Amino acid sequence: MDWFKTHEWLNLLFRWFHIVVGITWIGQVYLFNWMEKTLPKEIDPNAGENVAGQLWMVHGGGFYFVEKQKIPKLMPRSLHWFKWESALTWISGLLLLIIVYYMGGLMVEADSELAESTASYIGAGVLFLGYAIYHFLWSSPLGKNEIVGAILSFILTLALFIALDTIFSSRAAMMHIGATFGTIMTANVWMTILPAQRQMIASAEMGEPPDMSLASKARQCSKHNTYMSIPLIFIMISNHFPTVTYGNDYNWLILGVLILAGWLAAKWMRG
């Protein structure tokens, strides 16, 4: 009974923390992606050739002026990175996955011959394999075409869910699709976006023009994160509605439809 209470408290506290840090991360992702599309539309004619965009915003009684420079002329004393939100969201999500699924006995159905521990090892491997496949696809010539890349990503996602649904419980299978999305999003930040930013800053500090292909890769990953975030949030709440989501006979089709709906919502929210 004591372990049950401890398990419940850990579930509650990590879920609470995960939601709070997730809100800060996703909010920043959408704000910056919105600014990327809006900044170039409002440039003062006298701003100069180095200015790629300007924007006035108002919030909470304050007025804010944002300017995007093509090449930073002067590095600021304090540069805000917005990186720990993604790390804390992923770490808390992983701990929640361990508590609820890997330690909670929810990985397989009651009549399954697969051991819970084996299923947990497979589940953890899926997270990192998913990022490897994503990175390979979008770094390949196929990923150069966004439509082709999106179609292949969609097909691979549904194929992964169908495969997991044959060995895991349907609830665990769907949740691991969401966890894979979250892992890809965090890896995008730490393995592509941040390294690209560091290299561009190093070039600016040495007075050299930055490699803009790095900016393009970072921008693409940030864009992908916005498109994965809404389906991910749906998957997070799907366990509260088993009959119409993971427990449905057509759960793969429902997942596919709601991923597409999430992508359309993300496209609308981006601008």
- Contacts for 33 with CB less than 8 Å, ≥ 6 apart: 222, 223, 226, 270, 271
The pLDDT of residue 77 is 62
Q: How many domains does the chain have?
A: 1
The pLDDT of residue 164 is 97
The pLDDT of residue 96 is 92
Q: In this structure, what is the dihedral angle of CA atoms 89, 258, 30, 236, given to the nearest 10 degrees?
A: -20
Task: Tell me which residue range forms the domain holding 101.
Answer: 2-270
What one-character-per-residue DSSP string does 243-255 give? Answer: GGTTTSTTHHHHH
- The list of the chain residues with pLDDT below 50 reads none
